[in-house]
Structures are given as C-alpha cells and as structure tokens.
Amino acid sequence: MMFDINHHEVVDAVNRALYEDVGSGDVTTDACVPADLKAEGRFTARQTMIVAGPELLYLLFDDVTLQRHSGDPASDGDVIATVRGLARNLLTRERVALNLLQRMSGIATLARRYMDAVAGTRTVILDTRKTTPGLRRLEKMAAAAGGVENHRMGLFDAVLIKNNHIALAGGIRSAVTRAMASEYPVELEVRTREEIDEALNLGVKRLLLDNMTPEVARDEIRHIAGRAKVELSGGITLDTIRAYAEAGPDYISVGAVTHSAAAVDINLRIEPRP
C-alpha cells in the first residue's frame, strides 16, 4: 500500500489537520504578508531518510513538483518537493505539510531499518494496529513505503484470536470452531507447545507465537514443521530481530515501526517569486 491520496480516510486526515492548525484563519500571515505575493517553497531533507508521503502535498498546494516519491531514499540536502503559489497559502499550510512529511518519513525510515536487519532471511516484517488514533491508514502507508508489509487494517478484515478472546470464548477449541465458521482468515495466538498442538489439530493454518525467546521460537517452529504459517511478536527490537528471523518464522510483527518512530528532519524554505 503506497500513498493513495484519493482515499477518503487520507483526505479526511489532511482536512482535519488543516482545521486543527488553521481554524478560522492564519492571523499572523494575513497581517504580515501581501495577499497577492507569489512564492516558491522547497522541502529539503536534513538527514538520511526514506521518504514517505510527499504525494500528500497535492492535497495542500496547487502547484507541486515531486523530486522524491514514497519509498525513495533521500540524503541531507536533497530536495524532496517544490511547491509554488500565493505566499499566504504556502505559509499557512507549512506546518501541516511538514508534520505529515516528517511523521510519515520517520515511520518509513524506521521500517527500512527493520527490513535491513533481516535481509537475507525468509522472514516478512509486518506492522500492527499500534498506530496514532485517526492516522492509521497514513501510518500504514508510510510503513509500506519503508518496505514493511501491512498486517490487518483493523478488527474488520481478519480474525486474530488472542488470549482474552480464548478466555471469554471458553477455550481454544470453542474460539477456533466459532471463528472458522466466518468468512475471514483465522490466526491464533499460542504460548505453549500444548496450545500449538491443539491449534494444529483443529486445522489452524496461521499461528502467532508471542513473547518467546529466539531459542524457544526456533524449537516450536521446528515442531510445527510447515503445518501452519508462523508469526512471532512481543518485545522484538532492532537489536534482537535478526536472531528471531534466523529462528525461521514466516512473519515478525513489530509495533515499534509505527508507535516508536521518531520524526525525521525536513526543512521548508519559502522565498518570493515573480
């Protein structure tokens, strides 16, 4: 999933960001800058990064030229995009544009670091639902720009049975039997060998092994022996993800890609133009 600027959730997020910042008007810009002055702005990287979200500038400015697109690398000094128009419009939308680009590119940059950490293994890195409320689609687009594969978008597009579901459903067998009657793919969280065997006997084809050490995960993956796809999760960091990937899972899900990504440094320089 790359940046689909026509998706209603994307348009809504940008509009909400504008309303939050601009409200009834930019009183500083309107007081200081002539209404008919034209200007040009350049978004410039101030560090090495993976760019995400410059396509959003088309929703904010009338005249946009992209020098980088989502998923492209950029180094300190590289121009990411150029925007032109009335100076007041560029100034008023400056902070919203930077907030979005810096946040999205920060996620993409961290996602790429996780991808690089497992290079050469068979493991696919997944994002999670640990996103900023109201910005999930944007943040998952940014994660995809960094090379991570999107897990389920929400509670509505796949079944993932976790411990609380099992407890409230009356056990693994009851939860799985009910879930398999639905139209959705079923994944089950397991923590012990006994739970793994019960799930396999019930025909579950995707297992989430949670909070295991790399050594324990390796043993359980060998025991599963291809009878189900295996996802690992739970406290996996950049320092440990290589060891987990070498244990042989199909997937590793990492919430930190979205919930712990730092914004990158992008500058917007605006100058008058004829």
Q: Which residues are catalytic?
A: 95, 130, 162, 189, 210
- Mean pLDDT value across the chain: 97
- What are the pLDDT digits (tens) for 172-219? 999 999 999 999 999 999 999 999 999 999 999 999 999 999 999 999
Which amino acid is it at 2? M
Are the C-beta atoms of residues 224 and 102 closer than 8 Å to each other?
no
pLDDT value of residue 274 = 82
Q: Say whether pLDDT at 37 is over 70.
A: yes
Beta strand 38-45 pairing with 73-74: unpaired
Q: Say whether pLDDT at 1 is over 80.
A: no
Q: Say whether pLDDT at 63 is over 80.
A: yes
Q: Where in the chain is the domain with CATH 3.20.20.70?
A: 149-253
Please state which CATH number belongs to domain 8-112+262-272.
3.90.1170.20
For range 51-71, the mean pLDDT: 98
Spatial strand order in the sheet of 159-161: 124-126, 251-253, 229-233, 206-210, 186-190, 159-161
Q: What radius of gyration do the chain's Cα atoms show?
A: 23
pTM over 0.75: yes
Which residues, in sequence order, are CB contacts of 227 under 8 Å at separation 6+? 200
Are the C-beta atoms of residues 79 and 67 closer than 8 Å to each other?
yes
- What are the pLDDT digits (tens) for 228-257? 999 999 989 999 999 999 999 999 999 999
Least confident of 3-7, 20-24, 58-62, 114-118: 3-7
- What are the pLDDT digits (tens) for 254-266? 999 999 999 999 9
Q: Where in the chain is the domain with CATH 3.90.1170.20?
A: 8-112+262-272
Q: How far apart are CA 2 and CA 138, in angstroms?
A: 9
HSE-up of residue 137 (Cα within 13 Å, Cβ side): 14
Fold classified for 149-253: TIM Barrel (3.20.20)
